[in-house]
């Protein structure tokens, strides 16, 4: 069996993600036919978001199994973390070296690759009604649909929830909060019981945006919020944005031990605070649930609970919306190995492999129908995905659903709110200016 090669991380390149005109992994030429029969030979390169434990072995094991079935194929993995994947993708795109298969978020992030001609149109093989497409939930496929065509392979679903230590809540005598105001009120008793109420680290910038986007969904009417994601229709002037920024500042000041210093704390440090039994709560993605209670953690699966970040009283938006989106993979439109790439991703998303992905220690809830069950997944992952499926809508991540200029303004704005260096009004003005530049 040929040994799978995992490439080391290259230094991240500076500069913005420039997509148009970048050909990607193979020489420029006609786009490959993704419906063609694959030639089981040569190298297949893949950029994943599975670096580090416990995720890294998943694609390594799949690659090794695929190579065993096809001895003339060499699978080359480039494994990145949630934090490093953006810079790595920018580096590869700028150097016209995108691999055959590469990770993507939904929203503006994926659309840039589509409009830049770097994502293969997979409609003939994965659209609803095709044999492969019917193995996925239609909503997951539609998240990667642009102008009526399907480009993405959804690997897993995701959503954001407050994870909490049930024993900490019992010791403090507090119940799961039903409103945002009750959440803030619970922080005092939890601190008195010896816990950091909410562990929070914003050194990477995006954790603040996860709070803000969920609050925006609650405080801003849905049609207004979605219009603001498009620079051509955006105004970013609804009063719900100011309310959300004020509520976020209140939570940081009253519920975290780091307060304005949160910008210097890694999100992994906050994650470890809940896993280690030092914090009562940590706002996290479904993808993190099984890591929180992994072997060696002080927090056991039985003592780990989740609840949706509660909506503020009288909020003008959608209290049943959940922040989240499926995440998946694109195939390089210029790849000479596109048919082989399709075949490999069909292998990755076979039901048994999807069940493995959804089970501990990975806990990544597959988008494949039937992969996430009470038997295959942990209680928390199953509960979280059930809530995601029952949500009135999924609102995508603020830094991927908006254009890069606006996303950067929100990243800076979240940090400024935490540090107290800008008011909510000033943050909105900077976002409005960034939106004007993007038009």
pLDDT, position 365:
95
Write down the pLDDT at residue 13: 32
307 and 329 both lie in a single domain: no
Does 21 have pLDDT greater than 50?
no
- Measured from the Cβ of residue 392, the count of other Cβ atoms closer than 10 Å reads 12
Res 363: pLDDT: 95
Task: Say yes or no: 55 and 13 in one domain.
Answer: yes
Same domain, 315 and 177: yes
pLDDT number for residue 6: 36
Task: Pull the structure tokens for residue 421.
Answer: 């260096």
Kindly report the pTM of this predicted structure. 0.86
Whether residue 120 sits in one domain with residue 66: yes
Same domain, 247 and 300: yes
- Its domain, for residue 364, covers 5-157+325-371
pLDDT, averaged across the chain: 92
350, 367, 328, 344: which is closest to 45 by C-alpha?
344
How far apart, in Å, are the Cα atoms of 76 and each of 2, 34, 35, 67, 347?
11, 20, 22, 11, 16
CA distance 434 to 412: 11
Do 210 and 147 lie in a common domain? no
> Is the per-residue pLDDT at 241 higher than 80?
yes
Is the predicted pLDDT of residue 12 greater than 70, yes or no?
A: no
Q: How far apart are CA 73 and CA 68, in angstroms?
A: 9
Claim to verify: residue 319 and residue 417 sit in the same structural domain = yes
**295 in the same domain as 354:** no
In a domain, 387, yes or no: no
* pLDDT(14) > 70: no
Give residue 439's pLDDT band: very low, low, confident or very high (50, 70, 90): confident
For residue 83, what pLDDT is reported?
83
Same domain for 77 and 24, yes or no, is yes
The two structure tokens encoding residue 8: 């080391």
Tell me the per-residue pLDDT of 113-163, one tens digit each, with 9 for 90 and over.
999 999 999 999 999 999 999 999 888 999 999 999 999 999 999 999 999
Please say whether the dihedral angle defined by the alpha carbons of residues 205, 12, 99 and 355, taken in this order, is positive or negative.
Answer: negative
Percentage, residues of the chain above pLDDT 90 = 90
| In a domain? residue 284 | yes
379 pLDDT tier (thresholds 50, 70, 90): very high
Cα–Cα distance, 39 to 70 (Å, whole number): 10
386 within domain boundaries: no
At what angle are helices 57-69 and 351-358 packed, to 10 degrees?
A: 160
CA 284 from centre of chain: 10
Strand duo 196-199 + 5-7: pairing: unpaired
For helices 424-438 and 239-255, the axis angle rounded to 10 degrees is 130
297-310: pLDDT as tens digits: 999 999 999 999 99
Q: How many domains does the chain have?
A: 2
How far apart are the C-alpha atoms of 376 and 44, rounded to whole Å?
30
Predicted confidence at residue 386, as pLDDT, reads: 93
Same domain, 18 and 117: yes
Do the domain assignments include residue 377? no
Q: What is the mean pLDDT of residues 51-55?
A: 93
Question: DSSP letters of 362-423?
Answer: T---BSBTTS--TTTS-HHHHHHHHHHHHSS-EE--HHHHS-HHHHHHHHHHHHHHHHTSS-
The CATH number linked to 356 is 3.40.190.10
pLDDT at 5 over 60: no
Which tokens hold the place of 390? 């029952």
DSSP reduced 3-state for 80: coil
pLDDT (average), residues 232-236:
97
Please report the pLDDT score of residue 139 as a whole number: 86
Q: What is the pLDDT of residues 273-291, one digit of tens each?
A: 999 999 999 999 999 999 9
> So what's the pLDDT on residue 387?
94
Supply the pLDDT for residue 69: 98
Same domain, 242 and 230: yes
In this predicted model, what pLDDT tens digit does every residue of 318-372 receive, in sequence order? Answer: 999 999 999 999 999 999 999 999 999 999 999 999 999 999 999 999 999 999 9
Is residue 250 over pLDDT 90? Answer: yes
Q: Which of residues 32 and 55 earns the better pLDDT score? A: 55
**Per-residue pLDDT at 30:** 58
- The answer to whether residue 384 sits within a structural domain is no
Q: Answer yes or no: is pLDDT of 1 > 90.
A: no
Dump pLDDT digits (tens) for 196-222: 999 999 999 999 999 999 999 999 999
In a domain, 383, yes or no: no
Give the pLDDT band of residue 25 (cuts 50, 70, 90): very low
Task: Kindly state whether residue 24 falls inside one of the protein's structural domains.
Answer: yes
Spatial CA neighbour of 261 closest among 253, 271, 269:
253
Please indicate, yes or no, if residue 381 is contained in any of the structural domains: no
Q: Which run of H or of E encompasses 67? A: helix 57-69
Mean pLDDT of 261-273: 96
242 shares a domain with 134:
no
pLDDT of residue 26: 39
């Amino acid at each position: 069996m040929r040994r799978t090669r995992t490439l080391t991380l290259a230094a991240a390149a500076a500069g913005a993600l420039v997509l148009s005109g970048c050909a990607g992994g193979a020489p420029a030429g006609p786009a490959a036919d993704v419906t063609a029969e694959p030639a089981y030979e040569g190298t297949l390169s893949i950029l994943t978001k599975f670096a580090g434990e416990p995720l890294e072995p998943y694609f390594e094991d799949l690659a090794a199994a695929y190579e065993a079935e096809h001895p003339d194929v060499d699978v080359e993995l480039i494994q990145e973390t949630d934090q490093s994947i953006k810079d790595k993708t920018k580096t590869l795109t700028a150097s016209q070296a995108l691999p055959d298969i590469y990770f993507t978020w939904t929203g503006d992030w994926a659309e840039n690759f589509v409009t830049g001609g770097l994502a293969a149109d997979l409609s003939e093989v994965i659209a609803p009604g095709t044999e492969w497409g019917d193995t996925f939930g239609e909503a997951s496929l539609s998240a990667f649909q642009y102008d009526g065509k399907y480009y993405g392979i959804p690997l897993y679903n995701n959503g954001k929830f407050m994870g909490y230590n049930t024993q900490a809540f019992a010791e403090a005598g507090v119940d799961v909060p039903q409103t945002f105001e009750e959440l803030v009120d619970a922080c005092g008793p939890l601190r008195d019981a010896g816990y950091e109420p909410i562990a929070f680290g914003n050194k990477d910038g995006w954790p603040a945006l996860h709070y803000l986007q969920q609050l925006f969904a609650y405080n801003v009417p849905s049609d207004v919020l979605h219009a603001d994601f498009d620079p051509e229709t955006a105004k970013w002037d609804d009063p719900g944005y100011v309310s959300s920024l004020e509520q976020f500042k209140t939570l940081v000041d009253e519920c975290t031990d780091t307060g304005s210093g949160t910008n210097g704390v890694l999100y992994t440090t906050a994650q470890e605070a809940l896993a280690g039994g030092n914090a009562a709560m940590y706002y996290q993605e479904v993808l993190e649930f099984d890591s929180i209670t992994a072997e060696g953690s002080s927090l056991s699966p039985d003592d780990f609970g989740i609840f949706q970040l509660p909506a503020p009283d009288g909020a003008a938006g959608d209290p049943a919306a959940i922040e989240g989106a499926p995440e998946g993979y694109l195939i390089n439109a210029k790849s000479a190995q596109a048919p082989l790439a399709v075949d490999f991703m069909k292998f990755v998303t076979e039901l048994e492999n999807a069940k493995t992905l959804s089970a501990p220690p990975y806990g990544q809830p597959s988008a494949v129908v039937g992969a996430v069950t009470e038997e295959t997944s942990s209680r928390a992952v199953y509960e979280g995905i059930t809530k995601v499926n029952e949500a009135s809508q999924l609102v995508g991540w603020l830094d991927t659903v908006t254009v890069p200029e606006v996303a950067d303004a929100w990243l800076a704005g979240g940090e400024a709110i935490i540090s107290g260096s800008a008011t909510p009004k000033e943050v909105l003005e900077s976002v409005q200016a960034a939106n004007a530049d993007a038009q």
